[in-house]
Structure 1
Amino acid sequence: MSDAASSNSADAFAGSEFGDTLNPRTGLEPELGGFLRDAPERSGLEPELGGAFRQKGVYVDEITCIGCKHCAHVARNTFYIEPDYGRSRVVRQDGDSEELLQEAIDTCPVDCIHWVDYTELKHLEEERVYQVMPIPGFPVDSAVVATNRRRQKLKARKRQS
């Protein structure tokens, strides 16, 4: 079947009274990459698509993290201690079991590890790029954060042009 014919039949089906119940996509699902993008059927077991796997991801608030390394010792395949600032970071969402991740969250003395929805996780990771890591003993001023964010955005614009 050609692409034009399949898209016309899909449009006609989507307009029918059954289109909403059989196509539960919300438009908020993340794009699948590579060969998965062109797959005619998805199994529905992908965590990003609301399958049987974990519905939430793990996020570390690096500003709050004190670098105790408890999480990295408990869930070694998920957490990583970032060498520049000595704080924890999530490197693999599917690295360890949910029970092990919950144990790592429970062992954190400052509660800097959180379960977040996958849709929020992308936004939090984008914001993390602009974080200002404080020097121990000095408070972080909001003006410092704003200045750093502005400088990084200017650098990004210069790279693009």
Structure 2
Amino acid sequence: MKVLDANAGLLSNFEVMDLLRSRGATQDPLGSSGSATRSECQVFDYLVQSPAGTLTREIVREFLLKAEKFSLTKAERLQVLNLRPSTAVEVHMIIEDCEERMSSSTVDEFLEMVKSTLPPPPMKPQVEDEEENDGEMDAEEEVE
């Protein structure tokens, strides 16, 4: 791959995931049929399990149109897409000078727009109790 224009712009996690998919990356690095390396497959696997894993081009386009009314910078829109905030605290961490730029009702409206536009992140697999204890005995097992 050849870089045509270095630092041309920032990419969202969804765009990176889409690029890796086009290079043949899969969640199974051994099943990769394209020119994707093992590390690219690992990055792809991580991104599929992040909020980017549930996005589509149409959803991103719709979000960007709806986000225009909140006067966010490009970097802020990118962070919202990548992180999908669900609380006011997260919004305040992403948006610079949020207290000055948005009232609390505007933050609530923004969160509602994010919730209605961006799908929830993929569910994390449940870890079984045995794996969490990592071989440790429960109190009941010690008594027996």
TM-score (norm 2): 0.25
Structure whose CA Rg is larger: 1
User: Higher relative contact order by CA 8 Å / sep ≥ 6: 1 or 2?
Assistant: 2
TM-score (norm 1): 0.23
Between Structure 1 and Structure 2, the one with more strand by share is 1
Between Structure 1 and Structure 2, the one with more helix by share is 2
